[in-house]
Structure 1
Amino acid sequence: MSRPVLEETRIHPSIRGRIADNHADTVKAVQAAVASNKVVVVGMAMNPFPRKARKLLDGLGTPYLYLEYGSYLSQWRRRLALKMWSGWSTLPMVFVNGTLIGGAQDLQRLVDSGEFTALVAPKIAG
Structure 2
Amino acid sequence: MGSVSSTSKSIMPVTRDLVNELIEKDSIVIFSKTRCPYCKMAKEVFESLKKPYTAIELDNREDGQDIQDVLNEITGARTVPRVFLNGECLGGGTDVKKLYDSGELAKLV
* TM-score class normalised by the smaller sequence: 0.7 to 0.9
- Residue identity matched to 2:34: A
Q: Which residue of 1 aligns with 2:45?
A: 56
The higher radius of gyration belongs to: 1
1:54 Cα deviation after fit: 0.8
Task: Provide Cα deviations, 1:60-103, integer angstroms capped at 9, x if missing partner.
Answer: 211111111117xx843442332233212311000111100100
- Bigger drift between 101-110 and 111-120 goes to 111-120
Check 1:29–1:106 CA distance in 2 against 1; reply closer, same or farther (3 A cut): same
Q: Which runs of 5+ in 1 are unaligned?
A: 121-126
Selected match of 1:39 from 9, 28, 36: 28
Root mean square deviation of aligned Cα: 2.5
Highest RCO, 1 vs 2 (Cα 8 Å, sep ≥ 6): 2
Query: Partner of 2:90: helix, strand, or coil?
Result: strand
Give me the identity figure in percent. 26
Normalised by the size of structure 1, how large is the TM-score? 0.69
Quick one: distance in 2 between partners of 1:50 and 1:25?
25
Check 1:80–1:39 CA distance in 2 against 1; reply closer, same or farther (3 A cut): same
Counterpart check, 1:108 vs 2:101: no
